[in-house]
């Protein structure tokens, strides 16, 4: 079995095979990520969370537009909300009411 990461095994001490190499590399990546998070202030963590949330909503919106075509900003906002919260019956009902309102405008 060959993998793209196999050549890295020679770079990571103690990595005799793909699985060992992958585990060591993931440990290094996780450690670097955790160090970066630990170095953030609480306000930086919240700012990062807001950025990631906006990015996720943008991606959901992009997918909806690919499936449905162009939508008004208001309809897109409610369709994203439906995608995120549509499993909750009360939320779904409220969102669908708003969608009906903006779709008729």
Report pLDDT digits (tens) over 29-45. 888 889 999 999 999 99
**End-to-end Cα spacing for the chain:** 58
For the segment 43-89, what is each residue's pLDDT rounded down to a tens digit? Answer: 999 999 999 999 999 999 999 999 999 999 999 999 999 999 999 99
Tell me which of 8-12, 17-21, 63-67 is least confident: 8-12
Closest by CA to 77, choosing from 94, 58, 104, is: 58
pLDDT of residue 12: 55
What pTM value is reported for the model?
Answer: 0.66
- The confidence score (pLDDT) of residue 1 equals 44
């Amino acid at each position: 079995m060959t993998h793209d990461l196999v050549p890295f095994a020679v770079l990571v001490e103690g990595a005799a095979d793909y699985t060992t190499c992958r585990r060591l590399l993931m440990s290094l990546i996780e450690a670097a990520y955790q160090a970066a998070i630990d170095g953030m202030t609480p306000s930086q963590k919240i700012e990062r969370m807001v950025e990631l949330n906006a990015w996720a909503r943008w991606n959901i919106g992009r997918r909806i537009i690919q499936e449905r075509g162009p939508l008004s900003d208001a309809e897109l906002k409610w369709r994203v909300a439906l995608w995120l919260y549509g499993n909750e019956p009360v939320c779904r009902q409220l969102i669908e009411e708003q969608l009906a309102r903006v779709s008729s405008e």
